[in-house]
Amino acid sequence: MAYPYVSDREVRVLSKYFGDPAQRRLDTYVERGGYQALKKAFEIGQDAVIDEVKTSGLRGRGGAGFPAGVKWSFMPKQPTKPHYLLCNADESEPGTFKDRELMRWDPHQLIEGILIASYAIRAKHAYIYCRGEFFEATQVLAKAVEDAYAKGYAGADIMGSGNDIDITVHVGAGAYICGEETGLMNSLEGRRGQPRVKPPFPAAVGAFGMPSTVNNVETLSAVPHIITHGGQWYRQWGTEKSPGTKLFCVSGHVNKPGNYELPLGFPLTELIEDVCGGMRDGKALKAVIPGGSSVPLLNAEECGRCNLDYEGVQAVGSMLGCASVIVMDEDTDIVKQVRRMVQFYAHESCGQCTPCREGTAWMTKVLLRIEEGRGTEEDLDTLLEMSRQMTGTTICVLSDSAAAPVVSSIQKFKDEYLALIRRGERVGVA
């Protein structure tokens, strides 16, 4: 199988069939053992499914890392209203490209996970909210859903079990903020895609005002394996608090960028050197963003002692996020990279909260000015103060995400900012 790059350090559970188009076909999927987990789930019952997922310690792969089984257990056990499962397939975090691959290569794995999760939370309807730009992935997925319906794996009386679960593939219009779970619900309902104030939480008042659970594509794709093999089996990989395998999306200045499925807790240095074939052109490492553009960046020294699990990354001052590892070599212009990220957030801010709406755009302008050599040292203080006032002050954490790389880059790469400021002073543009 020639999926762009593979490594023998990988543990390919979810990504086993990446690169194999046959896996998209329902008959192949079933031949290879597909939909047996669903059958088992129906046999052991809802509570046993939730317990098994709790045992596995599977944590949400959408960024926050909240234990999936625990989240499911928040849903009412005796439904008085319709429940909904929402599969978050809006993957738009810069540096992240794992959900798309899971949808493209193994759509039935995801569908099976969705059906099991829906069953566990007593939902009779699941929505898959797909990022608007995912044309191919959405087509593959929609075809797979159609096939599943045709063969009785979705819809009414699934596999003769008496369980009804409908699946709707919903295509977004291409907004990062619709990946935030409550923004997703608004968008799904046909409203403006903007996050809602919590509380109430989705398990109480979610999509269409009904109890809902939102899970990421990767989270749900892991579920069939956990049900088939048991929660303990999943714990053979990873750490005590971060069990299992995880897809790492590596981009940037390495020789072999790509998706790699590795046990959690994998050392970052080995990921770069071993799995990804080292730095491109033998350049030195300057910085890594370990979890997608929303998290603080790490300098080379911190990278050297960073293990890639939720706690390990936190220990060096950043977050695992959705494990999108962006590697930057010595030639990288940090200020420009940070500006580009902040500009993304300014573009994607839904605009409700004043600190985010105004702060992201203002930050972009200040960073641009610094880049052009028209910055001052006071600008750095202003940026830091702005960041403080943008962190923890808004409805969702997009605002925090914009501030994180600014703060960490000024802390860790102040010299680069100062160099730009000084150069500007020398040529007299400031």
Partner 1 sequence: MADTITLTIDGQEVSVPKGTTLLKAAEKVGKDVPHYCYHDGLSSPAMCRLCLVEVQGAPKPMPACVTQAMDGQVVSTESELALDMRRGVLEFYLVNHPLDCPICDMSGECHLQDYVHEEGRDHGRSREPKRVFGRDDFGGDVLFYGDRCVMCTRCVRFMNEVEQDQRLCVVERGNRSVIDTFFERGLEGTHWHDNIVDLCPVGALVSKDFLHKARAWDLDHTPSVCPSCSQGCNIELHTRDNLVQRLKPRENLEVNAFWMCDHGRLNYEWINHGERAEAPLVRDQGGVKAMGWKEALTLLVARLGDVEGTVKAVASPFASNEDLAALQALVESLGGGDIVYRMPRAEDEIVLKGFPTLARRRDLAPNGRGADLLGLRRVGGDDGTGGLEDVSAHAGVVIVLGDGLADQGADFASGAALRVHLGTRSGPAVATADFVLPITTFAEQEGTFTNHEGRVQRFWPALNAPGLARPAWLVLGALVAEGTGSETPRRADEAFARLVAAHDAFSGLSYDDIGTRGAVVNDTVPLSGD
Ligand X SMILES: Cc1cc2nc3c(=O)[nH]c(=O)nc-3n(C[C@H](O)[C@H](O)[C@H](O)COP(=O)(O)O)c2cc1C
Q: Which residues of the chain form contacts with ligand SF4 (CB under 6 A)?
A: 177, 194-195, 349-353, 356-357, 394-396, 398-399
- Contact partner, 430, from partner 1, ligand SF4, ligand X, none, Cβ < 5-8 Å per class: none
175 binds partner 1 (CB under 8 A): yes
Alpha-carbon gap, residue 361 to 398, rounded angstroms? 13
CA–CA gap between residue 296 and residue 285 (Å, rounded):
16
State yes or no: cis peptide before 200, omega within 30 of 0: yes
Instruction: Report how far residue 27's alpha carbon sits from residue 14's, in angstroms, rounded to the nearest whole number.
Output: 18
Closest to partner 1 by CB, 15 vs 349, is 349
Cα–Cα distance measured from residue 335 to residue 368, given in angstroms and rounded to the nearest whole number:
9
Residue 61 near ligand X by CB under 6 A: yes
Shortest reach from residue 129's CB to ligand SF4, in Å: 17
Per rule CB under 8 A, is residue 39 in the interface with partner 1?
Answer: no
Cα–Cα distance, 426 to 430 (Å, whole number): 9
Please state, in angstroms and rounded to a whole number, the distance separating the CA atoms of residues 155 and 126.
10
**Among partner 1, ligand X, ligand SF4, none, residue 91 binds (CB under 5-8 Å by kind):** ligand X
- Which of 75, 115, 141, 214 binds ligand X (CB under 6 A)? It is 214
Q: Quick one: 194 or 408, whose CB is closer to ligand SF4? A: 194
How many Cβ atoms from other residues are within 10 Å of residue 308's Cβ? 24
Q: Which of residues 342-361 bind partner 1 (CB under 8 A)?
A: 346-355, 357-361
- The reply on whether position 185 binds partner 1 by CB under 8 A is no
8 binds, among partner 1, ligand X, ligand SF4, none (CB under 5 to 8 A by kind): none
Q: Candidates 81, 388, 414, 426: give the one binding partner 1 (CB under 8 A).
A: 388
The letter for the amino acid at 384 is L
How would you classify the pairing of strands 84-89 and 212-216? parallel
Specify the residue, 269 or 352, whose C-beta has the smaller distance to ligand SF4. 352
Q: Pick from 34, 52, 72, 90: which binds ligand X (CB under 6 A)? A: 90
Which residues, listed in sequence order, are joined to residue 147 by a DSSP beta bridge? Answer: none
Phi, psi of 212, rounded to the nearest 5 degrees:
-140, 155
Tell me if the bond preceding 76 is cis, omega within 30° of 0. Answer: no
- The residue range among 8-16, 27-35, 88-96, 245-253 that interacts with ligand X, by the rule CB under 6 A, is 88-96
DSSP reduced 3-state for 217: helix
Name the residue nearer to ligand SF4 (CB basis): 14 or 398: 398
DSSP H helices, 130-216, are 135-150, 181-188
Nearer to ligand SF4, 294 or 349 (CB): 349
Cα angle: 58, vertex 209, 62; to 5 degrees: 25
Q: Which residues bind ligand X (CB under 6 A)?
A: 60-64, 66, 88, 90-93, 176-177, 179-181, 214-216, 219, 396-398
Q: Which residues bind partner 1 (CB under 8 A)?
A: 175, 177, 192, 194, 197, 346-355, 357-362, 365-366, 369, 378, 382, 385-386, 388-390, 392-395
